[in-house]
Structure 1
Amino acid sequence: MSTIIFPSPIYGPVHSRRLGLSLGINLMPADGKICTFDCIYCECGFNKDHHTHTHHPSREEVAEALARQLEKMHNDGEHPDVLTFAGNGEPTSNPHFPEIIDDTIRLRDKWCPDAKISVLSNSTFIGHERTRQALMKVDNNILKLDTVDADYIQLTDRPAQPSYDVMKVIENMKLFNGHVIIQTMFMKGTTVDRKGQTVSVDNTSDRYVEPWLEAVKAIKPQGVMVYTIDRETPDHNLCKATHEELDSIRDRVVAAGFPCTASY
């Protein structure tokens, strides 16, 4: 079982497939996982296996830890390409997320002004005005949209909120007026559904790609990231999408007029 639990509030730097030398900012507790999704492919494992017993890091804790690490890296002559909000759950669920973004911009400008600020979000809170305004301030507002198929989302992303509505999420993505990068996981293999049946999780076919691509066109993002499994997953029956499949999807996005990268 996958049990990668990241330190909090700062970890790394690490080399990201998509972002370069990345200093991680984890706004979740350091002793477990809290997320509004419970994805079957999450490297941090399932929510139920990593209950937390400590609090979210405060705004002050994040700022102090980030300042120390950025000053150390600066003095060592090492500067991150990106400051990335990710870790053990959904970063925008931290109650101080908007203020933490303001602090991060200030510290970035002081210690590593060329670095980008990225947020990896599953999009569940982008309907909140304060969250949306904070995300408008970052360089890379990377929002998850694995599919537009509601049944597939329940099978693989497993949102914790019964009210989750992917069509509403798409409408909220449009409100960024293009200041959004869509991130989509493509994979294959099987999982066991809530009825105990083994079912396919392959979302690389036209059945899933075509309506997803129409949503991309409607959102009009500044870019798209398509990727596949890279690390151990808690559901061990998942498989990578092939290079050829990802390249084909990437090329269709580019043909529609949007920059797109594929990570294998």
Structure 2
Amino acid sequence: MTIIFPSPIFGPIHSRRLGVSLGINLLPDDGKVCSFDCIYCECGFNAERRTKKLLPTREEVRTALEEKLKDMQANGPAPDVLTFAGNGEPTAHPHFPEIIEDTLALRDKYFPKAKVSVLSNSTFIDRPAVFEALNKIDNNILKLDTVDEEYIHLLDRPNGKYSVKKIIERMKEFEGNCIVQTMFLKGSYQGKDVDNTSDKYVLPWIEAVKEIAPRQVMIYTIDRETPDHNLQKATHEELDRIVALLEKEGIPATASY
């Protein structure tokens, strides 16, 4: 059972990594729009989730968010975080930078202690306006599942041109104002092994993380049903080993099992 989120506001939900999280979905509620087509995505494969609806407008997002924040102020719970996530890649929205400005203003008005987070696959950080917007928020959470280009095309399946080297270079420009998020998993896809918990994948990835120098790394594994059924969770021991390797390099890290 894959998940398609309401739009533009959903929750609040309890996030494994972020606490009480009010979701902001800048994509339609009838399908998925993403520059990746990850084999582990809880929203399913892109081809099976084509949308007919338009993206929510900047005004629709702002109005819906303000109404929800007013309600939460009156009735609770107080959000720990306002999280841009949902049915695909939030930074793909043409008015993402302006929506971030609106969200920061509304956060300051209603819940100044709440953090603003964006879960991004990093594919649009080469756009200056997107980069600037991500640099203004509290939790700029950027995906880097591996540094192996061939593996990325098997696991994340980017649409169009993709260069992991360029992504890493752009991540470095945040000068530490980012959180790297990485999926570790096992199993197979179309007869190919997708286990990225071994040193073959982990050690070069750690070298890239050291270059990026994020303030934190979040590693996680499959939590919900995936569109491909030959995938398996990484074990607690495997994730703990990777966290220990990161911490040995002086990089704060957490694992979600």
- State the TM-score, normalizing by the size of structure 1: 0.97
Q: Does 1:243 align with 2:241?
A: no
Aligned partners of 2:136 and 2:159: how far apart in 1? 27
Aligned partners of 1:107 and 1:84: how far apart in 2? 13
- Give the aligned partner of residue 210 of structure 1: 203
- Give the aligned partner of residue 16 of structure 1: 15
Aligned partners of 1:158 and 1:77: how far apart in 2? 40
Identify unmatched segments of 5+ residues in structure 2: none
SS at match of 2:100: helix
- Give the aligned partner of residue 85 of structure 1: 84
- Give the aligned partner of residue 102 of structure 1: 101
Aligned partners of 1:228 and 1:158: how far apart in 2? 18
Aligned partners of 1:236 and 1:189: how far apart in 2? 9
Q: Does 1:71 align with 2:64?
A: no
- Give the aligned partner of residue 195 of structure 1: none
Deviation at 1:75, TM superposition (A): 0.2
- Give the aligned partner of residue 143 of structure 1: 142
Deviation at 1:15, TM superposition (A): 0.4
SS at match of 1:118: strand
- State the TM-score, normalizing by the size of structure 2: 0.99
Deviation at 1:77, TM superposition (A): 3.3
Q: 1:256 to 1:41 in 2, by over 3 A?
A: same
Quick one: percent identity of the two aligned structures? 65
Deviation at 1:255, TM superposition (A): 1.0
SS at match of 2:68: helix
- Give the aligned partner of residue 168 of structure 1: 166
Identify unmatched segments of 5+ residues in structure 1: 193-197
Letter of the structure 2 residue corresponding to residue 168 of structure 1: K
- Give the aligned partner of residue 177 of structure 1: 175
SS at match of 2:250: coil
Deviation at 1:30, TM superposition (A): 1.0
Aligned partners of 2:42 and 2:194: how far apart in 1? 17
Aligned partners of 2:187 and 2:67: how far apart in 1? 43
Q: Does 1:226 align with 2:219?
A: yes
Deviation at 1:157, TM superposition (A): 0.2
For 1:51-105, what per-residue CA distance to the aligned partner results, in whole angstroms no more than 9, with x for missing partners?
1011111100000000000000000132100000000010000000000000000
- Give the aligned partner of residue 134 of structure 1: 133
Aligned partners of 2:119 and 2:2: how far apart in 1? 19
**What RMSD, in angstroms, separates the aligned Cα atoms of the two structures?**
0.6
- Give the aligned partner of residue 252 of structure 1: 245
- Give the aligned partner of residue 35 of structure 1: 34
Aligned partners of 2:244 and 2:125: how far apart in 1? 28
Letter of the structure 1 residue corresponding to residue 166 of structure 2: K
Aligned partners of 1:258 and 1:156: how far apart in 2? 25
SS at match of 1:160: coil
Deviation at 1:258, TM superposition (A): 1.1
Letter of the structure 1 residue corresponding to residue 7 of structure 2: S
